[in-house]
Each structure stands twice: as C-alpha cells, then as structure tokens.
Structure 1
Amino acid sequence: MAQLVGGAGVSHSPQLSIEPGGWRAHGDLEQGRLAELGLPPTTRTAGELEGELDPHLMAARHEACQRALERTRQELLDLRPDVLVVIGDDQRELFLDDIMPALSIFWGTSLDDRPPGMAGYPHTMESAYPYYHAEQDDTYETDPVLGLHLVEQLVEAGVDAAQFTEQPTDRTLGHAFTFIYRRLFEGLPRLPLVPIMLNTYYPPNQPTPKRCVQIGQELRAAIDSWDSDKRVALIASGGLTHPIIDEKLDRGLLEALERHDTDALAQLPVEGLTEGSSEIRNWIAVGAAMRGLPGRTVDYIPAYRSTAGSGCGMGFFTWAEDGS
C-alpha cells in the first residue's frame, strides 16, 4: 500500500518574494481595499504597529522567512516523496461563478499554468509574480491514478467531492499550486501533482473547520488504501492570517497541530477565516490527515506591512514519519 511519509504547511504570500524594502509600499497600496472589506480591525496599537514597521525588523523577518522556506524544502526532500498531494484554494483561477465547488479533485493527466501576466497584479508584486506564473504556458504533470482513487474513496466515505479531468478553457492552474513548484521547490525536477481545491474564500459553501477535519481524516484513509508502493507527501498551501494578522489565531493553530488536537482544529472560529485567513482551512485538513506523524513548527513570522496591521502571518510546519 501507499505510504504517507509526511508533509508540510507553508505560506505562499508575495511578501516571501518581495524584498523587505517593498513590504511597506505593498501594504500602503492595499489600504483602500482593506477599508472596503470591512474586516475586524487589528488588536495592536498604533505605536506597536509603528515598531513592527522598523526597516531593520522587517529585514530580519524577511531573512527568517527565507531560512524557514529552505528548512521546509529540505525536510520535504528528506521524505523522498514520489508524488505530492497539495491542498490549496482556487482564487477564481480555474473556477468562477459558473461553478464553485466546496471541494474538487483533478484526475486528468496534466494541468497548465496559463499565465495571466502582470497586468492583473499590483506593481508591488513584480518580483513575486515569477514565483506564481511562468512567462509562457507551462504544463504540470499530475497523477490521474491517485487522483481517481482519492475521488472514489472520499465519495465512498461520504465526502461529496467534485471532480474533473479537463481544464476549463482560458483558465489557469492557481498560484496555491504553482508556488509549491516555482518557489518552494525552485529549480528541482517536478514531482507529479494531485491538486485538491478547497473553496476557502467564497461564500456560501466554504467547508467549516469541522468539515475540514473530516475531509482530512477521510483523505488519510484514502491515501493509506491506495494500492501502490509510492511515497506520498501532503502539503497545505497558503495562510496564515492575512491581510490583517491575528497572531493569537495563528499561534493557536500551530499549537493544535503540534498536539494533533483535532477537536481544537474543528472549533477554530469561522469568523476568523475570511479573505486570505480562510486558507487556514487547508492546514486544518492536512493536520487532521497527519495522525501518528510527528509535527513541528519550523517557524512563525508575523510579517507586518502597514500601520493598519496588515501583512501575513507566515507559517512553516512539517510532519515526518519516524525514521523518514
């Protein structure tokens, strides 16, 4: 049978690929949008936030993020996986309002990065864009046998998974998935991918934290039952809290993952899982799948970028089978 050898949770924020001198400009650019979103305000004081934006502190945090990415990458490589199952969210890249499944698995033979170009992104993301998209169409090999197996087993277990084998015309594989290859595993031969898309962002059919736990548990059973000798790594892409950083929520999540406390994961507050913070749902599902595999926080870096408390709670977490 297949072997789930471990995996990781990793942020994919553009700040990871923007020099720290550009963090403040990126934060300033989003102030109008933040006002429109009506998100709960930061709990940090104005004075505290000014301190968080000290250029030396931002530079130190940028460097800490690079070290954490490298450690996460190396620990994943040490697992010697044959295939990557990545749980990420689709941000109107493959799915639009014509269909927005709560959970979907692709089991065709390949998916393409069909780059939208920088025109769709703020200019402050210029250095980050190449870690989301190629310059020309770029094909990612997928594992249709494992993908189909996961669909069949999840449905058998009562998880109503959507599925597809053909890429919608003029739509692209999302950055939650391309980032894993273009940034985390930059320059390395690509392992086959099984992409699992959770609708974390868009009401009204986002899976609840409790449902994410159930999905993760059934996903683990499905991987364990796959009649293959392949080594499988499972990755949660995205998060943690953003655009408004909530350090308490982030640290509580990481502590629950270390304890394998699925009850705490299931009870995370839905009201805290909006906008980018909604990607924590991907981590909940992966954490629930990792029973019996020791996990640890590689690092947590609250990367502030504005006096409104915006930025990204950068999370890096790994699981590894004993002896892997």
Structure 2
Amino acid sequence: MARIAGGFILPHEPGIFHAPPERWSEGQRRVRAAYEHIARRIGELRATTAIIIGADHYVLFGPGCLPAYLIGTGDISGPYERFPGIDQGAILDHRGLARHIAQHGREHGFDWAVAKSLRVDHSIGVPARLCALPNASVTGVVPVYLASGVEPLLPMRRAHALGGAIRAAVEAWPGDERVVVIGSGGISHWVGLPEMGRVNEKFDRFVLDCVERGDPEPIMKLSDAEVFEQGGNGAFEIRNFLCMMGALPGRPGELIAYENGPEWVTGLGFAEVREAA
C-alpha cells in the first residue's frame, strides 16, 4: 500500500543560479544548504515518489488555457529555463500514480486537468532537480500545477482540499510507494510591480508559523485582497503550501530556514512537515 511519508515547503527562486558558487553570498550558501538538507531528508525518508506542487506563471499554458489544477500524466522534462548546472532533459515520471490520482479525483469530486506531455518550469524543475532526483530511491516525479499565480485563482480552501484528495488517492494506490509532497513557492513578493524587491517578513513569518503549527485555517481565512496587500501578487503561491498541508492534515512542521536578503526578490521559507509515525 502506498503512503505519504512526509512533506516540505520550499521556494523555487532561481536567484541561486545567478552567480557561480565561488561568488555566492552567505545568504546564497544558506539557501543552497537548505535545498541540500531537504534532499537528504527525502533520502532518509526512503521516498520513491515526489509529488511537486507548483505555480502556473502564465508561461506554460498562456491565456488560451488556464486550468484550476493540472497534473502531468505522461512524459515530463525541464525546467525549460536554462540554469547553470541544471539539466533540462527528461525527468523521471510516475505516470501510473499520476493517472490514478487524476481518475481517483474524478470519482470523488475533483475534476483534474491533465497534461500527457509536460515541459515544466522552475517551480517544478528546481525542487525536482535539487531535492528529489539526487536520491537514488526516487524513481518518479508527479508534477501538479495550481492556479496560484494567475487569475482566476484557485480558492484557498479548494487548494487545501485538493491536498486531501491527493492523500486519499495515494492511499488507494495498490503499489508500494513512499510519497513526499512538496509545496513549491515564494512567500511575500511583488512580481513585475513597482514594489518588486520588497519583502514583508511579518507576513512571511505568519505563514511559516501556520506551517509549523500544522494549522492552515488562519491562511485560508485571508482574502486574496489581504494576501495581495500584505504579501504581493507573488504570495498567491501560498496555495501550494496549503495543498501540501492538506495532504498531511494537522501535522506540525519544522522550520529549516528563512531568508529575505538583497539576493532575492521574495521571502524564502523552507520547512518539513512530518507524517505521523
């Protein structure tokens, strides 16, 4: 029987790649160390599959198709962006589990959009390449995209409920899988706006505190207008965290790192949510 082995939140900030390692700041070194810590923990959990929840940045689907939530059920590659030291080729997929999640969802009130071939962007590609695929135990990635960056946005509670649907589908899968769920996104950031570069640490800490306490309710009570005011349009990506939390309901989290230095345009939060023993 398949089971959820653990969960993580992390950013997909590409700024780590803007300079060679010998020129990294101390903040960049701490961020890379946080990615490496999560990679080690995924290995220690003996995870076989990583479900990575990313944000539609309006570059994959464009104005002609804006799915509320989408799962990759076939070939995966990417990220399509070129980053030094990061492969852009094929990504190991688990199309059997992905198709099962989509079908299980349809049978239980969650009408997934599917992509039978998907070239992912950095919101999936960075965590896949830096955290999941370095582990020999991981034999497949399942990419999930939420409408968490481009309006119309997936409602907060629906994002959390979708995580619960993912958990139910995983537990109904007959294979022997140990699955980690990764919510990938920045916290406060103002994308393409005059405030770009601004970070609201108070808001970031509020979100991270909810993750640490395993309590999504205060986040779900926020309106999109409140999120925008306090965290900018980039903070809509906290839906990805909520989805992960929905897959590990009520489980407390442990903060790994938080950074908001001048190297970044967003607050960066890394945390692990542990499954009950």
Tell me what 1:246 maps to: 200
Tell me what 2:247 maps to: 289
SS at match of 1:95: coil
Tell me what 1:232 maps to: 179
Deviations 1:230-250, CA, capped at 9 Å, x for gaps? 111111112122243121221
Q: TM-score, normalised by structure 2?
A: 0.85
Tell me what 1:73 maps to: 39
Shift of 1:157: 2.4
| Aligned alpha-carbon RMSD (Å) | 2.7
Return closer, same or farther for 1:187/1:78 CA change in 2, 3 Å cut-off: closer
Tell me what 1:145 maps to: 96
Tell me what 1:212 maps to: 159
| Corresponding letter in the other structure for 1:287 | M
Tell me what 2:61 maps to: 95
Separation of aligned partners in 1, 2:146 and 2:184: 11
Asked if 1:321 is matched to 2:275, the reply is yes
| Contact 1:304 1:312 survives alignment (8 Å) | no
Consecutive unaligned residues in structure 2, runs of 5 or more: 191-197
| Contact 1:240 1:314 survives alignment (8 Å) | yes
| Contact 1:300 1:315 survives alignment (8 Å) | yes
Asked if 1:302 is matched to 2:260, the reply is yes
Separation of aligned partners in 2, 1:131 and 1:176: 17
Among 97, 115, 119, which residue is 1:164 paired with?
A: 115
Q: TM-score, normalised by structure 1?
A: 0.73
Shift of 1:196: 0.7
1:248-263 matches, within 5 Å, as 248-263=202-217
1:6-25 matches, within 5 Å, as 6-19=6-19
Asked if 1:2 is matched to 2:2, the reply is yes
Tell me what 1:31 maps to: none
| Corresponding letter in the other structure for 2:247 | A
Deviations 1:78-133, CA, capped at 9 Å, x for gaps? 1111111111113234312221101011212x22227465xxxxxxxxxxx23665
Separation of aligned partners in 2, 1:114 and 1:74: 22
| Contact 2:81 2:121 survives alignment (8 Å) | no
Separation of aligned partners in 2, 1:186 and 1:152: 26
Separation of aligned partners in 1, 2:85 and 2:132: 10
| Corresponding letter in the other structure for 2:221 | Q
Return closer, same or farther for 1:320/1:151 CA change in 2, 3 Å cut-off: same
Separation of aligned partners in 1, 2:117 and 2:20: 40
| Contact 1:212 1:266 survives alignment (8 Å) | no
Deviations 1:8-43, CA, capped at 9 Å, x for gaps? 11111122333499x9xxxxxxxxxxxxxxxxxxxx
1:98-117 matches, within 5 Å, as 98-108=64-74, 110-113=75-78, 115=80
| Corresponding letter in the other structure for 2:142 | V
Separation of aligned partners in 1, 2:71 and 2:129: 21
1:49-88 matches, within 5 Å, as 59-88=25-54
Tell me what 1:311 maps to: 265
Tell me what 2:121 maps to: 174
Count of residue pairs brought into register by the alignment: 265
Deviations 1:182-223, CA, capped at 9 Å, x for gaps? 3335755563111111121111x2112122112122222222
Shift of 1:322: 4.8
Q: Which has the greater radius of gyration?
A: 1
| Corresponding letter in the other structure for 1:83 | T
Tell me what 1:191 maps to: 139
| Contact 1:299 1:315 survives alignment (8 Å) | yes
Return closer, same or farther for 1:63/1:141 CA change in 2, 3 Å cut-off: closer
| Contact 1:20 1:59 survives alignment (8 Å) | no
